[in-house]
Chains A and B, each alone.
Chain A
Amino acid sequence: MTVLLELENAHARIGGAEVLNGAFFSVRAGELVALCGPNGAGKSTALRAALGLAPLTQGVARLGGDEARRLSERQRGERAAYLPQDRSIAWNLPAVEVAALGAPFLTGQAAVERARAALDEVGVGHLADRGVAEMSGGERARVLLARALTVPAPLLAADEPIAGLDPDAQLLVLERLRARADAGRAVLVSLHDLSLAARFADRVVVLDQGRTAAEGAPTAALSPRILKTVFNLDAVWLEALDGPWLAARRLSPHG
Chain B
Amino acid sequence: MTGATRLNIALGLALAAALGVATTLGETAFSAAQYAQALSDPASGPGEVLWLVRAPRAVCALLVGAALGLAGAVMQGLLRNPLAEPGVLGVLGVSATSALAAATAIVLGLAAIPGAVESAALFGAAVGGGLLIVLAARVRAPEALILFGVALSSFAGALTALIFNLSPSPIASAEVMNWLLGSVENRSWNDVAWVAPALLIAAFLAREASPGLRMLTLGEEAARASGLSMGRMRVLALAASALAAGSAVAVAGVIGFVGLAAPHLVRAAVRGDPGRLLAPSALAGGLMLVVADLMARMLPTDQELKLGVFTALVGAPLFALIAWRAAREWRL
Interface residues of A (CB under 8 A from B): 48, 51, 53, 72-78, 80-84, 86, 88-94, 97-98, 101, 104-105, 131, 133, 144, 147
Contact = CB atoms under 8 A, between A and B. Distances in A.
A38 B217 CA distance: 30
Nearest to A74: B227
A72 B224 CA distance: 11
Contact of A77 (B225, B328, B331): B225
Which size class do B's interface residues fall under? 20 to 34
Contacts of B222: 82-84, 86, 147
A86 B221 CA distance: 8
A131 B267 CA distance: 13
Given A86-B221, A86-B222, 12 more contacts: A77-B225, A81-B225, A82-B225, A88-B219, A90-B218, A91-B267, A91-B274, A93-B272, A97-B271, A97-B273, A101-B214, A131-B329
Contacts of A74: 227-229
Given A86-B219, A90-B217, A147-B218, A131 B272 contact: yes
A84 B329 contact: no
A78 B272 contact: no
B273 A91 contact: yes
24 contacts: A53-B225, A72-B229, A73-B224, A73-B227, A73-B229, A74-B227, A77-B225, A82-B221, A82-B225, A84-B222, A86-B221, A88-B219, A89-B331, A90-B80, A90-B219, A91-B217, A91-B331, A92-B271, A94-B271, A101-B218, A104-B211, A131-B271, A144-B218, A147-B222
A91 B225 contact: no
Nearest to A153: B227
Nearest to B215: A101
B227 A105 contact: yes
The 9 lowest CB-CB distance pairs between A and B, nearest first, are: A77-B227, A91-B272, A82-B225, A90-B80, A92-B272, A84-B221, A92-B329, A133-B329, A90-B217
A36 to B, nearest CB: 21
A17 to B, nearest CB: 18
Contacts of B267: 91
A76 B228 CA distance: 10
B96 interface: no
B228 A98 contact: no
Interface of B: 80, 211, 214-219, 221-222, 224-231, 267, 271-274, 328-329, 331
Given A86-B221, A101-B214, A133-B328, A93 B271 contact: yes
Contacts of B273: 91, 93, 97
A99 to B, nearest CB: 11
Which of A76, A81, A90, A131 has the most CB atoms of chain B within a 10 A radius of its CB?
Answer: A90
B168 to A, nearest CB: 48
A90 B216 contact: yes
B177 to A, nearest CB: 38
B215 A133 contact: no
Contacts of A78: 227
Contact of B225 (A51, A72, A93, A131): A51
A194 B266 CA distance: 47
Contacts of B80: 90-91
Nearest to A85: B221
A29 B106 CA distance: 67
Nearest to B330: A133
A101 B226 contact: yes
A98 B329 CA distance: 15
Nearest to A90: B80
B229 A89 contact: no
Contacts of A73: 224, 227-231
Which of A51, A82, A91, A144 has the most CB atoms of chain B within a 10 A radius of its CB?
Answer: A91
A93 B229 contact: no
A53 B221 contact: yes
A112 to B, nearest CB: 12
Contacts of A131: 271-272, 329
A82 B215 CA distance: 13
Nearest to B216: A90
Nearest to A134: B329
A158 to B, nearest CB: 11
